[in-house]
Chain A
């Protein structure tokens, strides 16, 4: 009897290397009660979206190890994005992968989305099962229509970009530490107040321990006014002013 070859991996050795990007999306539905806890990160097991982001990146990197005929390739970038959608209710998950290779990178994007969705479900199922909202969902995680979507990625990442913004903070006096330069770029949530800006600045200044105590006694200011902890961070560039000692 002639031996049959059941599976064969495509030989891409003769193809030229090119830059490739893939975007995949999928979503998971749940009850409104579960949805709110998933969105707010208040499930008993923890914050599902942060964990799903990590899970998606790990999954993209492992794709070729788990999908038998998928070529291993070197990923240049993996990014996940999440859009809580109360109309489902549920979470839309997006993954973007890119590489320079001889074969496409869409399997990695799809694998990232699938694993991110499963991670959300893994954290949510306890609450969802108690609520008995989707009793038949358990054997097959209630995610559907995983598909590639470039347009939706752009929309969601733009929505996400609105959530945080970068503020330029000019440094003076004792903040001029070696290796620190004369300014910082600090990411803060939109609508952040000065207290939040102070916390975010502290994280940036982590490698310069001498500046931490100074930060607590320093004031944030625009070019026209000193601001206080409850003030909103304005759109302009900011400065951080250590205790003053002119004269």
Chain B
């Protein structure tokens, strides 16, 4: 199975396990990214995610399709990201892969999360304890001329 989601409310890891938990799978690797209370020495009390929904869902699906070509069509892939404002400790992203054996599950899951960070049109704004906010730098989707 292949499932991608953009969520306005909190992410439930059980959704990932349901997607990846078919009987043929002996392994599920589940990655959860959560909001950290400090970044580059500055105290963070919340973050906001902005994203381009249509393009984001398409990119997630494309990444999962590529993973299926690389690690196996019979594996299960789940990729979900939050939209909006999140407090410290809230899950922002979940990637999961279900596979017959752990090696493909680990590799596939790593592929999903790394590709997502590089390619998905998502932007993160940190809100600092001192009242300031900043959009974080990231990976350019095209090379400047």
Contact = CB atoms under 8 A, between A and B. Distances in A.
A195 interface: yes
Contacts, number: 92
| B interface residue count range (under 10 / 10 to 19 / 20 to 34 / 35 or more) | 20 to 34
Contact of A219 (B33, B124, B142): B142
Interface of B: 33, 49-52, 54-55, 58, 81, 92-93, 113, 116-125, 135-142, 144-145
Given A221-B52, A246-B122, A247-B33, A173 B135 contact: yes
A172 B144 CA distance: 18
Contacts of B124: 245-247
Interface stretch (A4-12, A61-69, A112-120, A223-231): A223-231
B12 to A, nearest CB: 18
B127 to A, nearest CB: 14
Given A246-B49, A246-B117, A223 B123 contact: no
Given A174-B123, A218-B140, A229 B118 contact: no
B33 A245 contact: no
Contacts of B33: 247
A247 B33 CA distance: 6
A244 interface: yes
A242 B139 contact: no
Contact of A243 (B58, B125, B137, B145): B137
